[in-house]
Structure 1
Amino acid sequence: MKFQKLEVWQLSYQLSSSIYLATKDLRDWGFKDQITRSGLSVPSNIAEGIERQGIKEQIQFLYIAKASLAERMTQLMIGRDIGYLDASFVDEKLQIAERISGMLAGLIKSIKERNSER
């Protein structure tokens, strides 16, 4: 499975796992469900996109991952502001999320450029 070798997938996988652990005892089920589902979406869509054969599908799934990452970042900030998540934890995770977002943008650009050369 080539997706597992990608640093962007590895980082998004670790980010999702860390947020799952940080929210495991949270009693606000709606918030917990939303932040964990958006987080699951990021590495899942990276994996699915990379394993797709068509370039358009690959790019589509990577854009979905990028959008889910933005959703997750918003939820992290809300979680911090309402006292569900520690501010330093959120700040660290937001920095990682920004890095992932940039990596996704670079990967999308690379796939598009590789496709235009054909």
Structure 2
Amino acid sequence: MWKLSRILCIDINIVANNTELRKDYRLYNQIDGSSGSVMDNIAEGFERNGNKEFIQFLSIAKASCGETRSQLYRVFDRNYINEKDFNKLKNQAIALSKMIGGFISYLQKSDFKGSKYKD
């Protein structure tokens, strides 16, 4: 899941740096930040060593994935990317969001509370 979020972040960065989006500083910074937030929150939550905190950070990561998807629409609507690239990135974000949501559900049902709660 973290690896897929990294790929999405890289793919968005490639688009951002190879299109006119690089001149739209505010939108560029927003989509760069939100796509990076997905992978960062997955990593930070994992390092907390507790399911409750991990779920909280995964929820933030999922929200950042939705924010990235919304920003992709703005990037597309402003003609910075073509429909093919938009659909590829949007589908990556949707798949990642579903994966994060599924993992949250799994953790919520799990009896394991995290390594910091052993003994």
TM-score (norm 1): 0.87
C-alpha deviations, 1:68-111, integer Å up to 9, x for none? 00000000011101111222111011111111111101110111
Residue 35 of structure 2 corresponds to residue 31 of structure 1: no
- SS of 2:49 mapped into structure 1: coil
C-alpha deviations, 1:16-73, integer Å up to 9, x for none? 0111111115211111000100010001111111121222110000000000000000
Where does residue 21 of structure 1 map in the other structure? 14
Give the whole-Å Cα distance in 2 for the aligned partners of 1:51 and 1:115: 19
Residue number among 96, 100, 107 corresponding to 1:100 in the alignment = 96
- The one-letter code matched in structure 2 to 1:43 is M
User: How many residue pairs end up in the alignment?
Assistant: 110
Radius of gyration: which is bigger? Answer: 2
Instruction: Give the root-mean-square deviation of aligned CA atoms.
Output: 1.5
Where does residue 5 of structure 2 map in the other structure? 12
- SS of 2:31 mapped into structure 1: helix
Give the whole-Å Cα distance in 2 for the aligned partners of 1:37 and 1:61: 16
- SS of 2:110 mapped into structure 1: helix
- SS of 2:23 mapped into structure 1: coil
- SS of 2:59 mapped into structure 1: helix
Unaligned runs of 5+ in 2: 114-119
Where does residue 73 of structure 2 map in the other structure? 77
- Hey, which bits of structure 1, 4+ residues long, moved more than 4 A? none
Task: Note the C-alpha offset of 1:115.
Answer: 3.2
Task: Determine if contact 1:55/1:115 at 8 Å carries over to the other structure.
Answer: no
Task: Note the C-alpha offset of 1:116.
Answer: 7.6
Where does residue 49 of structure 1 map in the other structure? 45
Give the whole-Å Cα distance in 1 for the aligned partners of 2:64 and 2:111: 25
TM-score (norm 2): 0.87
